[in-house]
Amino acid sequence: MHFTRLQQRRGDASRAAMSVDTQTVLRIASLARIAMSEEEAERLKPELNNILGWVEQLGEVDTSGVEPLAAVIANHTRMRDDVVTDGDKRDDILANAPVAEHGFFAVPKVIE
Amino acid sequence: MVSNYRIQGATGEWEVVIGLEVHAQITSHSKLFSGASTEFGQEPNCNVSLVDAAMPGMLPVVNGECLRQAVRTGLALNAQINRWSRFDRKNYFYADLPQGYQISQLFHPIVGEGEIEVSLDEKDPEGTVKTIGIERIHVEQDAGKLMHDQHPTMSYVDLNRCGVALMEIVSRPDMASPAEAGAYVRKLRSILRYVGSCDGNMEQGSMRADVNVSVRKPGDELGTRTETKNVNSIRFIQQVVETEARRQVDLIEDGGTVVQETRLFDPDKGETRSMRSKEDAHDYRYFPDPDLLPIELSEEFVAEAKASLPELPDAKRHRYENELGLSAYNAAVLTAEAETARWFEGLAAESAKKQGKPEADVAKAAANWLISDLFGGLNKLGVDLDSSPISAAQGAELLALVADGTLSGPLAKQVFEIMLETGDDPEKIVEEKGLKQTSDTGAIEAVIADILAANSDKVEEYRGGKDKLFGFFVGQTMKAMQGKANPKVVNELLRKALG
Amino acid sequence: MTDITDLGVAEIRDGFRGGAFSAREVAEAFNDAVAGSDALNCFIVKTPEKALEAADEADRALAAGEAKPLSGVPLGIKDLFCTKGVQSTAASHILEGFVPPYESTVSGNLLEAGAGMLGKLNMDQFAMGSSNETSYFGNVVSPWRRNDGGNTPMSPGGSSGGTSSAIAAHIVPAATGTDTGGSIRQPAAFTGICGMKPTYGRCSRYGMVAFASSLDQAGPMARSVKDCAILLEAMAGYDAKDSTSLNEPVPHWEAGLSGDLKGKKIGIPKEYRVDDMPEEIDALWKQGVEWMRDAGAEIVDVSLPHTKYALPAYYIIAPAEASANLARYDGVRYGLRETPDGANLQEMYAATRAAGFGDEVKRRIMIGTYVLSAGFYDAYFTQATKVRTLIARDFDQAWDSCDYLLTPTAPSAAFGLGDLSDDPIAMYLNDVFTVPSSLAGLPAIAVPGGLSKQGLPLGLQIIGKALDEQGVMNAGLAMEDRAGFTARAEKWW
Ligand SMILES: [Mg+2]
Ligand SMILES: [Zn+2]
């Protein structure tokens, strides 16, 4: 396998990395609204830690005084005119709905 | 101005600290990021584009008018306009938010710090001014609507409002009483309506406030605040401050601690309650929206926005006082709402034209008539100025008839009542009902002669020194003239006839 | 007569116009090829009737003297593009059955130009993958096999693996791909075809299922540079419906093609010389340098110092954007909905998303959610976007001394399906040469250069300046001319 060198670099970084525990994995899954059992979280944990450890090598880069990239290619915001050009297509909007009733999307009842 | 509003607790006095986040719907035909209509009260899901429904691959394109209105609003609040701003995604899951994120502005809002001067007493607009800081104004999308009462186990989702442009106007925690919070919102609403960036219609939800409240002992550090969401009237905002401050004081004095949380106001019970708190409610994972480029406003864009601003309420109030000679109170009343000022200015201009005098000479009478007569009349009818049966031109006509002596005060009142009822022109009423005041000395002299002849005993008494009887003769003369005689002429002629 | 399915876009277009065959004959030939390709699993949906419909219209138009640029040419469309009235899933379960009431701008442009649609091409789920093993609709198999006599199914690369496999197998003459970190170029390299990622903003993203908005870019895949030029000309163009679309005229790239590189400087970035790179990749790269020199170019050494940070930056930025882009798949308005007994709204979301997303998609959503979450945002996301600035700056500085960069496309030839699937990072490293130019939004083309010792295709990549697609294609053409790559997978499916 020819990735040994790159993998070694990854290994170094992951050793330094703060690692994510099962509870954190579950919290992230809940934030992302992905149902997850403790066993699944347990299985995912080392994978996530590997990836996070690997990306943490970015910490080596001195970015002081560097602005985050704002636009990939220099380009300006174009502003739309304030005119009604769309809407009035309820059938299209609801066509793929798992449950639609009386012109509404329907979801399990929400108690506020 | 230091507020003296205090809450009496078991352990002494408490101060309340209030900050408001006002969501104001930006006046626009189409939505912030789609071409769907913003019209109110349509059939469900009809004002919805594929973009609003977050169909796969759909992209936002910003409505320039919404940005322009936010900039105009910022300029009206003497705020800093950020020539470089951008949109961020605020991530959370809810059925009224199809994208799974709200496009908003956290890191670089379009408008920075500004301020509003608020008068706490209309009768003394200058003496009770308090400056409330504006922290920022950002532009964001409104959410859709959930209906919970149409189905036993389902909620229904209507996306018509989804994506409508809002300005979130965030104040500093500079208010210290329910009255100040109310005055702030009233003034803010007034400015937005002057600017035309929001219709300020709280009943329809075009303006609503998140009310941040905390309490502290005078001089202490800021306490923990709660945020009561989406309060949609000034009265409710004041109620939220009162009840929430009271609740916090009671809680602390009972040994509890205030939790930083979002709450809901229940107008029926007049109290706030905790929203079912979600553990991740505060982890919105904001980041710049990669579908949208940074907003770079040119110098000309800002200059044009500035040039398009109308005279704002404070400037107008000062002008009414200084140039038109109105009282501080009248000037404040007439400028509180853009609609009133517009009406008044129409009235004053017409009056000046009709009477051939400068506005400054007619403005006082116009202001008095508008504030005491017309407001009173409309009040009785239960209608607003914008549905007044009397137009500004008709009002000016009435005032002109008084000024040229055609109508006496009492006659003018009579004509006014008929105008209010029928919407007819005052001249037509005067003509048809024969209400014109007469200064015809011959006719008046003839009537006086008859009255003196019929009341020779009283003439004797008067001449014998009973001065009070003069009023009796005036009354008799006016009665005989059916109220149409010019009272000044009557007085003169009576004095002459009585010697 | 040669088999119609052996013809490329230009040849079909010209043959059709010259009366060598009708558009219907072309469509029927490719429909048959599509029908017989199930072993490769390139298609999620086949649309032979659409291909015929367009063909009949092309025949009518030609007779009426109204033929359009792509009249008579049938194409495959990657399933990341929403196609009106035809199921569009991005190869996911969560969008299974979704039939868009709208057409993506890019596929619409192609249809508008007269092209027909043979079907929706399989891909990595939500374009997340480099081997086409993450599709809900099963792996795509490359037509290529190792020359060891075995029949190990090989990866066609990803995420545009259905596209690459179908083109390499002559099942479609050309097709659309999309590239976020290499998803056009790496599969092109793995299957011995050409693939072009244009400048970010050249092709509208409207109607293309979003993976990572600041990186996603559509592009053509075909068996020649010229065919890529023809296709890109039809796909590209300003679109007011995409705020990031570039308001630039679309040049006549096909007409501007020239393999003469006299006066051009080709940069060789030293950081792309990875120590463990297979010898045959290095050898091909050196060969490429010779070809460029032969075409008249001057070769210069350049440095892109932040190259090694491109992949880690990419694996923060792309998942972060994806975690938000994929939040709309919640079971409310379209696609899958899972409602366990008594589930409330939030539980319905979680169950739907757990059932609807594959493992790799979940992994990336989790990473993206984590790097954006409270307390980690600056350390991960902000830092990655700053590093991105440095990477873009590296390229800008390189352009001071050269016109194009020549690099290998991928660090290896195709691997067998399953070989890397349990090591995400090893999989991610496939894109080591393609990700930097994606982060900088630059145009790049992958062109086949030769075969590995195992008989598998290897590719070279040309990267150019923003908006210089013409230059990139010309350098690609010079290489194509000299490589003379004619190898072809033997038909076994
Ligand atoms: Mg708020
Ligand atoms: Zn808000």
- Residue C289 inside a domain? The answer is no
When pLDDT is cut at 50, 70 and 90, the band that residue B277 belongs to is: low
Kindly tell me if the per-residue pLDDT of A11 is higher than 90. Answer: no
Phi, psi for residue B200 in degrees, rounded to 5: 70, 15
Give mean pLDDT, residues B378-388: 93
Verify whether the Cβ–Cβ distance B285 to C244 is below 8 Å: no
Distance CA B369, CA C72 (A): 81
On chain B, the residues whose CB falls within 8 A of the CB of A73 are: none
On chain C, the residues whose CB falls within 8 A of the CB of B95 are: 332, 345
Q: Which ligand is the nearest neighbour of the Cα of B106? A: 2
On chain B, the residues whose CB falls within 8 A of the CB of A109 are: 148, 151-155
CB C169 within 8 A of CB C424: no
The pLDDT, as a whole number, for residue B123 is 76
On chain C, the residues whose CB falls within 8 A of the CB of A44 are: 362-363, 366
- Which ipTM score applies to this complex? 0.96
Size of interface B-C (CB pairs under 8 A): 101
The pLDDT, as a whole number, for residue A63 is 97
Q: Token pair for residue B41?
A: 């009260």
- List the domain range (segments joined by +) for residue C248: 4-255
When pLDDT is cut at 50, 70 and 90, the band that residue B411 belongs to is: confident
Distance of CA A83 to the CA centre of its chain: 34
- Residue C411's SS3 state is coil
CB A6 within 8 A of CB C309: no
User: How far is the alpha carbon of C5 from chain A, nearest alpha carbon, in Å?
Assistant: 36
Looking at the partner chain, which of C200, C332, C426 has a beta carbon nearest the beta carbon of A3?
C426
User: How far is the alpha carbon of B200 from chain A, nearest alpha carbon, in Å?
Assistant: 20
Q: Looking at chain B, which residue has its C-alpha nearest residue C81? A: B57
Kindly tell me if the per-residue pLDDT of B499 is higher than 90. Answer: no
Q: Give just the sign of the alpha carbon dihedral C283, C8, C133, C358.
A: positive
Q: Token pair for residue B89?
A: 């995604």
Q: How far is CA C211 from CA B33, B331, B334, in A?
A: 20, 59, 56
pLDDT averaged over chain B? Answer: 93
CB C442 within 8 A of CB C185: no
- Residue B9's SS3 state is strand
Q: CB of B32 within 8 Å of any CB in chain C? A: no
Q: Looking at chain A, which residue has its C-alpha nearest residue B158? A: A104
User: How far is the alpha carbon of A15 from chain C, nearest alpha carbon, in Å?
Assistant: 15
Q: In what order do the strands lie in the sheet with B101-104?
A: B101-104, B88-91, B287-288
Distance CA C454, CA B465 (A): 138
Q: Residues B150-172: pLDDT tens digits?
A: 999 999 999 999 999 999 999 99
Distance CA B361, CA B348 (A): 9
Kindly tell me if the per-residue pLDDT of A9 is higher than 70. Answer: no
Q: How far is CA C445 from CA C147, C187, C256, C436, C474, in A?
A: 27, 12, 16, 14, 10
Residue C131 CA to ligand 2 centre (angstroms): 42
Verify whether the Cβ–Cβ distance B43 to A103 is below 8 Å: yes
Residues within 8 A of A (CB atoms), B 3-42 only:
28-30, 34-37
Burial B253-266 (b: 16+ CB within 10 A, else e): eeeeebeeebbbbe
Kindly tell me if the per-residue pLDDT of A18 is higher than 80. Answer: no
Higher pLDDT, B404 or B83: B83
- Residue C382 inside a domain? The answer is no
Q: Residues B278-290: pLDDT tens digits?
A: 545 679 999 999 9
- Residue C237 inside a domain? The answer is yes
CB C133 within 8 A of CB C91: no
Q: Which residue from C267, C70, C185 is spatially nearest to C449, judged by alpha carbons?
A: C185
Q: Give just the sign of the alpha carbon dihedral B322, B324, B326, B332.
A: negative
CB B262 within 8 A of CB B273: no
Strand B129-141 with B114-119, pairing: antiparallel
- By the 10 Å C-beta count (0-12 exposed, 13-18 middle, 19+ buried), C157 is classed as buried
Q: CB of A29 within 8 Å of any CB in chain B? A: no
Verify whether the Cβ–Cβ distance B91 to C324 is below 8 Å: yes
Q: What subunits make at least 3 CB pairs under 8 angstroms with B? A: A, C
Residue B228 CA to ligand 1 centre (angstroms): 9
Q: Residues A25-74: pLDDT tens digits?
A: 999 999 999 999 999 999 999 999 999 999 999 999 999 999 999 889 98
Kindly tell me if the per-residue pLDDT of A112 is higher than 70. Answer: no
Distance CA B231, CA B240 (A): 8
- Residue C441 inside a domain? The answer is no
Distance CA C382, CA C386 (A): 6
Domains of chain B as residue ranges with CATH: 7-305 (no CATH), 311-433 (no CATH), 441-498 (1.10.10.410)
- Residue C217 inside a domain? The answer is yes
CB A108 within 8 A of CB B154: yes
Distance CA B370, CA B351 (A): 12
Q: In what order do the strands lie in the sheet with A100-101?
A: A100-101, A104-108, B154-158, B145-147
Verify whether the Cβ–Cβ distance A30 to B159 is below 8 Å: no
Number of neighbours of residue A103 by Cβ within 10 angstroms: 15
Kindly tell me if the per-residue pLDDT of B27 is higher than 80. Answer: yes
The beta-strand segments (E) located in chain A are 100-101, 104-108
Verify whether the Cβ–Cβ distance B28 to A82 is below 8 Å: yes
Size of interface A-C (CB pairs under 8 A): 187
Distance CA B212, CA C203 (A): 46
Hey, which residues does B438 pair with through a beta bridge?
B485
Verify whether the Cβ–Cβ distance A112 to B158 is below 8 Å: no
Does this model's pTM top 0.90? My answer is yes
Which among A5, A6, A76 is the top mutation candidate for probing chain C, defined by the most C β-carbons within 10 Å of its own β-carbon?
A6
On chain A, the residues whose CB falls within 8 A of the CB of B277 are: none
Could you say which DSSP state residue C70 is in?
Answer: T
Residues of C that are catalytic: 78, 159, 183
Verify whether the Cβ–Cβ distance B287 to C324 is below 8 Å: yes
Distance CA A3, CA C412 (A): 10
Distance CA C112, CA B140 (A): 36
Verify whether the Cβ–Cβ distance B93 to C327 is below 8 Å: yes
Place of tokens 């790049």: C444
- Residue B57's SS3 state is coil
| Blockwise average pLDDT, block size 10, chain C, 493 residues | 90 98 98 98 98 98 98 98 98 98 98 98 98 98 95 97 98 98 98 98 98 98 98 98 97 98 98 89 97 98 97 98 98 98 96 98 98 94 98 98 98 95 88 97 98 97 98 98 97 95
User: How far is the alpha carbon of C442 from chain B, nearest alpha carbon, in Å?
Assistant: 17
Distance CA C199, CA C369 (A): 28
Q: Which ligand is the nearest neighbour of the Cα of B262? A: 1
Q: Residues C405-450: pLDDT tens digits?
A: 999 999 999 999 999 988 888 899 999 999 999 999 999 999 999 9
Verify whether the Cβ–Cβ distance A58 to C214 is below 8 Å: no
The pLDDT, as a whole number, for residue B53 is 98
- Residue C73 inside a domain? The answer is yes
- Residue C265 inside a domain? The answer is no
Verify whether the Cβ–Cβ distance B59 to C206 is below 8 Å: yes
Residue B22 CA to ligand 1 centre (angstroms): 8
When pLDDT is cut at 50, 70 and 90, the band that residue B390 belongs to is: very high
Verify whether the Cβ–Cβ distance B49 to A70 is below 8 Å: no
Kindly tell me if the per-residue pLDDT of A13 is higher than 50. Answer: no
Residue B294 CA to ligand 2 centre (angstroms): 19
Burial B376-407 (b: 16+ CB within 10 A, else e): ebbeeeeeebeebebbbbbbbbbbbbbbeebb
Number of domains into which chain C is organized = 1
The 8 Å CB, 24+ separation contacts for B355-364 are: B355/B399, B355/B400, B355/B403, B355/B404, B359/B324, B360/B323, B360/B324, B360/B325, B362/B399, B362/B403, B363/B320, B363/B324, B363/B325, B363/B326, B364/B324, B364/B325, B364/B326
CB B146 within 8 A of CB B156: yes
User: How far is the alpha carbon of A50 from chain B, nearest alpha carbon, in Å?
Assistant: 22
Q: Token pair for residue C459?
A: 């590719």
Cβ within 8 Å of residue C131, ≥6 positions away: C124, C155, C157, C158, C161, C415, C417, C420, C421, C427, C430
Q: In what order do the strands lie in the sheet with C174-179?
A: C43-46, C116-121, C74-78, C174-179, C217-222, C194-197, C444-451, C457-464, C404-408, C265-269, C298-302
Q: CB of B281 within 8 Å of any CB in chain A? A: no
Q: What subunits make at least 3 CB pairs under 8 angstroms with A? A: B, C
Q: How far is CA C253 from CA C144, C256, C471, in A?
A: 31, 5, 9
Higher pLDDT, A97 or B474: A97
Q: Token pair for residue C96?
A: 């299974």
Q: What angle do CA B110, B35, C89 make, to 5 degrees?
A: 100
Per cent of chain B over pLDDT 90 is 80
Q: Residues B213-254: pLDDT tens digits?
A: 999 999 899 999 999 999 999 999 999 999 999 999 999 999
Burial B237-248 (b: 16+ CB within 10 A, else e): bbbbbbbbbbbb
Residue B168 CA to ligand 2 centre (angstroms): 5
Verify whether the Cβ–Cβ distance B60 to C205 is below 8 Å: no
Distance CA C212, CA C205 (A): 11
- Residue C37 inside a domain? The answer is yes
The pLDDT, as a whole number, for residue C10 is 98
On chain B, the residues whose CB falls within 8 A of the CB of A77 are: 62, 292-296
The beta-strand segments (E) located in A6-111 are 100-101, 104-108
The pLDDT, as a whole number, for residue B490 is 86
On chain B, the residues whose CB falls within 8 A of the CB of A70 are: 86, 288, 293-294
Number of neighbours of residue B271 by Cβ within 10 angstroms: 16
Q: Token pair for residue B205?
A: 């939800």
Which among C306, C360, C366 is the top mutation candidate for probing chain A, defined by the most A β-carbons within 10 Å of its own β-carbon?
C366
Q: CB of B105 within 8 Å of any CB in chain A? A: no
CB C55 within 8 A of CB C74: yes
On chain B, the residues whose CB falls within 8 A of the CB of C90 are: 56
Reduced 3-state DSSP string for C135-149: CCCCCCCCCCCCCCC
Q: Which residue from C178, C173, C171 is spatially nearest to C205, judged by alpha carbons?
A: C178
Q: Which ligand is the nearest neighbour of the Cα of B229? A: 1
Which among B34, B48, B150, B161 is the top mutation candidate for probing chain A, defined by the most A β-carbons within 10 Å of its own β-carbon?
B48
On chain B, the residues whose CB falls within 8 A of the CB of C353 are: none
CATH number for the domain spanning C214: value is 3.90.1300.10
Looking at the partner chain, which of B89, B93, B157 has a beta carbon nearest the beta carbon of C349?
B93
Cis amide prior to B387 (ω within 30 degrees): no
Q: CB of A67 within 8 Å of any CB in chain B? A: no
Looking at the partner chain, which of A77, A85, A107 has a beta carbon nearest the beta carbon of B294?
A77
User: How far is the alpha carbon of C90 from chain B, nearest alpha carbon, in Å?
Assistant: 10
